[in-house]
Structures are given as structure tokens and as C-alpha cells.
């Protein structure tokens, strides 16, 4: 009974198959992390034997250099103790009596490796706690329950590849130039990169969009202002942001939009006809004086607008096949008679079924809008 309780505490109630799937996913993620360093330092023209030796050496350094200098010394001492199984010395005491001392260095190697593991786990726990706080803050920046908009039903979701994401989505009212205007901003953006750096830039993007949207300027000027602001925080264009910005007018049932280098949203008419919203310009943060064009589409009852980031269509399975837009279109068509919430649930389940146990390598964000009758 105690052994069973101990095992359940260790495994958190997971079955052996689930444990293996978890280990496989973690092993794949670790392999990707280290293989990037190894591949970057492997020259061309090596023989098979030379390549194997080079890969082993670079893999060692890829792991070794991720430790702090003091922990590298601990690891080196532990490895030496593993290679040299025994050590000892002789001592001659009073009266010429000889003493021999012998040490099992495997024990000390195990002790040093355990100490190294404890130190690494402590760092991970602290970092995980900080990342969890960052995730909570990021969650506050994103909208909660979809707002009630006349003639429009909305559903959205995001899945970070890591604890925090560089994807952003939002739906919020924008003050009009007259009291009769009733406009709503629709935004989906993807900051280049992942994890903490991308999440920090995502936060600045959100703050700048909310601030600049209060100005009574056309959508094209809003995009230009966003771009100039992004250029000041993009590290010379390395941290650019693709974005889809739109204004929905619930009276005219129109969507004015700008596509700043983002994946082309899909407009699926009630008839099944597919249109792509591709008018706009460069991603934000590359060229300070970039020009942006806008376009307008009208939504009729039964029309769907699907806005997503590249993490959705570029999700890979174990064979490194991408989910792709053909599968996305098929999933959309199969769920077009339902609500955005139902379609979103079905779409995410379809992606999960496709990728299986393959680790998620990019943030996935999707916003679904369906035009309804008043």
C-alpha cells in the first residue's frame, strides 16, 4: 500500500504510456535545443568518423556551457571520479605499521551529480515561479470573456509554446469621431521569437496599441504610428511584429483592415467562397517610414472571419509535416454551421490530433468571428 502511494506521488497518477509520452516530448524538446548549437558549429567536408567525433564533442560543450563555471567544475570532478573507479594511498604509522586507504570514487561521483542536480532544480523552481508570475501578468493583458458586439459572435484562444508567449490578440471599443460611430478594434499580432523577450515586446505592443487607438486618426495612420513605435524597440528590425489590425463597424457591418506582414486571415462567406485579407504593408518594426494601405470587406450573416498566427498552420507532427492551410480550411468547413466557440474547440482538437506527442515549437493563437443576424 505504501509502495503504491509512493509511486502515485512520484508519477502524479500518470499511466506508464503517459509517462513515456511525456518523456518522449521532453527528449525531443531537449534534442532540438542542443542540436541547434551542434549544427551551427559542425563544418562541412568531414568524414563520417570525423563528423561523429565532432558531434560528440560539440554536444558535450553544448551541455557544459549552459552550466555556471562553478557547476562546470563540479561536473568535471564527477566525470573524473566516474572514469577512475578507485583511489587510495598508503600510510606508515608509528612502529612501521602500514595502513592502506582506498576510496570508491563512484560514490563521490554520484554524490557530486546529486548535488549538481539539486542546484539545477533550485534554479528551475525559482525561474518557474517567476515565469508563472509573468504568465499571470500576461493573462491580465489579454481579453477574458469575448465582448458582446451587435451582429458578431467571437471566440479566441492562445497556446504558448513556453510559459509566456509572443502572440497577442485583443478586442476593444475605439472612440469614434462622432457619437454615432460604434467601432471595435480587432487585433492579432505575433512578435518574432518566443518566451520572455517576445512576451516583453508583446506587452509594449499592447500598451502602444491601446494608447495610440485613442487618437482620432484613420486606421492607416494608426498603423504607421504603431510601426514607428515598434521600430524604436525592435533591435534594428530583428524583433519585428506581424499584425492584423481591423475596425468593425456594427452599423454598416464592415471591417476596415490592415495586414502588416501577418498570415492572411481567411474570410469564408456563407456560400463557402474563400477570400484572403492581404492588403497592408510590412511587419511593424522594420522600416520606420513604411506606408500602409487599408481595405474594407462587408460581412453578411453566416460569414466567418478566421484570424490566426503562423504557429497554427506550421504546427508539426513527428514526421515534420505541417498542419497547413488545406487542413485548416477543411476543419473550418466542417464546423461552419456551429458557433465560434464550437469551431475553436474542434479546430484545436484537430491540431492536437495531427501533432500527437510532438512538442509545440511556436505560439498558437486563433480568433474566430461569425456574422449573425440582428
Output the pLDDT for position 100. 61
List the single range of 28-42, 101-115, 222-236, 286-300 with lowest mean pLDDT.
28-42
**Residue 179: per-residue pLDDT:** 47
Distance (Å) of CA 169 to CA 26, 180, 226, 329: 28, 26, 15, 21
Q: Residues 6 or more apart from 119 whose CB is under 8 A from it?
A: 71
Burial class of 105 by CB neighbour count within 10 A (0 to 12, 13 to 18, 19+)? buried
CA gap 304, 328 in Å, rounded: 13
Asked if residue 328 and residue 200 are part of one domain, the reply reads: yes
Of residues 321, 315, 326, the one with CA closest to residue 349: 315
Q: Could you tell me if 50 and 157 lie in one domain? A: no
pLDDT in the model for residue 96: 61
Domain boundary pick from 48, 66, 84: 66
pTM of the model: 0.74
Grid coordinates representing 266? 481567411
Model confidence pLDDT, tens digit, residues 64-79: 888 889 999 999 989 8
The per-residue pLDDT for 108 is 85
Confidence of residue 270 (pLDDT cuts 50, 70, 90): very high
- Asked if 54 and 165 sit in the same domain, the reply is no
Residue 177 above 50 pLDDT?
A: yes
Interatomic CA distance for residues 134 and 126, integer angstroms: 12
What are the C-alpha distances in Å from 78 to residues 19, 62, 87, 111?
A: 29, 18, 14, 8
Count: domains in the chain? 2
Looking up cell 474570410, which residue turns up?
A: 267
279: region left, alpha or beta (phi > 0 left; psi from -120 to 50 alpha): beta
The reply to whether 85 falls in a domain is: no
Tell me what percent of the residues of the chain surpass a pLDDT of 90: 41
- pLDDT confidence bin for 176, thresholds 50/70/90: low
Quick check: 284 pLDDT over 80? yes
Percent of the chain with pLDDT over 70: 93
Alpha carbons 58 and 32: distance in angstroms, whole number = 14
- Give the separation between CA 21 and CA 361, rounded to whole angstroms: 17
- Helix axis angle for 16-40 and 48-64, nearest 10°, is 110
For residue 244, give the CATH number of its domain: 3.60.40.10
Q: What pLDDT does 201 receive?
A: 83
- Cβ contacts of residue 180 below 8 Å, gap of 6+? 251
Are 149 and 60 part of one and the same domain?
no
Is 80 among the domain residues?
no
Per-residue confidence band for 98, with pLDDT thresholds at 50, 70 and 90: low
195 and 330 share a domain? yes
In which band, very low, low, confident or very high, does the pLDDT at 97 lie, cut at 50, 70 and 90? low
Pick the closest to residue 358 from 306, 318, 320 (CA basis): 318
For residue 49, the enclosing domain spans 2-66
Question: Are 156 and 42 contained in the same domain?
Answer: no
Q: For all residues of the chain together, what is the average pLDDT?
A: 85
Residue 95 is classified by DSSP as G
* pLDDT the model gives residue 196: 77
Question: Does residue 77 form part of some domain?
Answer: no
Amino acid at each position: 500500500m505504501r509502495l503504491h502511494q509512493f509511486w502515485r506521488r512520484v508519477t502524479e497518477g500518470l499511466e506508464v504510456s503517459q509517462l513515456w509520452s511525456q518523456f518522449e516530448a521532453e527528449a525531443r524538446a531537449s534534442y532540438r535545443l542542443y542540436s541547434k548549437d551542434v549544427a551551427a558549429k559542425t563544418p562541412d567536408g568531414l568524414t563520417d568518423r570525423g563528423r561523429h567525433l565532432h558531434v560528440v564533442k560539440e554536444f558535450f560543450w553544448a551541455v557544459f556551457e549552459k552550466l555556471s563555471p562553478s557547476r562546470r567544475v563540479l561536473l568535471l570532478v564527477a566525470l573524473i571520479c566516474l572514469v577512475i573507479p578507485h583511489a587510495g594511498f598508503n600510510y606508515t604509522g608509528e612502529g612501521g605499521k602500514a595502513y592502506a586507504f582506498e576510496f570508491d570514487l563512484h560514490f563521490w561521483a554520484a554524490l557530486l551529480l546529486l548535488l549538481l542536480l539539486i542546484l539545477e532544480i533550485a534554479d528551475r523552481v525559482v525561474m518557474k515561479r517567476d515565469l508563472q508570475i509573468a504568465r499571470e501578468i500576461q493573462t491580465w493583458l489579454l481579453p477574458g470573456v469575448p465582448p458582446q458586439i451587435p451582429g458578431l459572435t467571437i471566440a479566441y484562444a492562445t497556446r504558448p509554446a513556453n510559459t509566456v508567449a509572443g502572440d497577442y490578440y485583443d478586442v476593444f471599443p475605439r472612440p469614434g469621431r462622432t457619437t454615432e460611430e460604434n467601432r471595435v478594434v480587432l487585433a492579432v499580432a505575433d512578435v518574432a521569437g518566443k518566451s520572455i523577450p517576445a512576451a516583453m515586446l508583446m506587452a509594449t505592443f499592447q500598451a502602444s496599441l491601446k494608447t495610440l487607438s485613442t487618437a482620432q486618426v484613420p486606421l492607416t495612420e494608426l498603423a504607421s504610428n504603431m510601426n514607428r513605435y515598434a521600430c524604436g524597440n525592435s533591435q534594428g528590425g530583428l524583433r519585428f511584429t506581424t499584425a492584423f489590425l481591423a475596425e468593425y463597424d456594427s452599423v454598416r457591418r464592415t471591417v476596415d483592415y490592415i495586414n502588416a506582414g501577418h498570415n492572411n486571415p481567411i474570410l469564408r462567406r456563407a456560400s463557402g467562397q474563400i477570400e484572403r485579407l492581404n492588403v497592408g504593408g510590412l511587419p511593424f518594426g522594420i522600416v520606420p517610414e513604411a506606408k500602409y494601405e487599408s481595405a474594407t470587406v462587408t460581412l453578411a450573416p453566416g460569414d466567418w472571419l478566421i484570424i490566426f498566427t503562423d504557429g497554427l498552420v506550421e504546427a508539426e507532427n513527428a514526421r515534420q509535416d505541417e498542419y497547413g492551410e488545406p487542413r485548416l480550411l477543411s476543419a473550418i468547413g466542417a464546423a461552419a454551421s456551429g458557433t465560434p466557440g464550437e469551431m475553436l474547440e474542434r479546430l484545436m482538437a484537430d491540431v492536437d490530433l495531427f501533432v500527437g506527442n510532438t512538442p509545440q515549437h511556436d505560439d498558437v493563437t486563433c480568433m474566430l468571428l461569425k456574422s449573425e443576424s440582428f
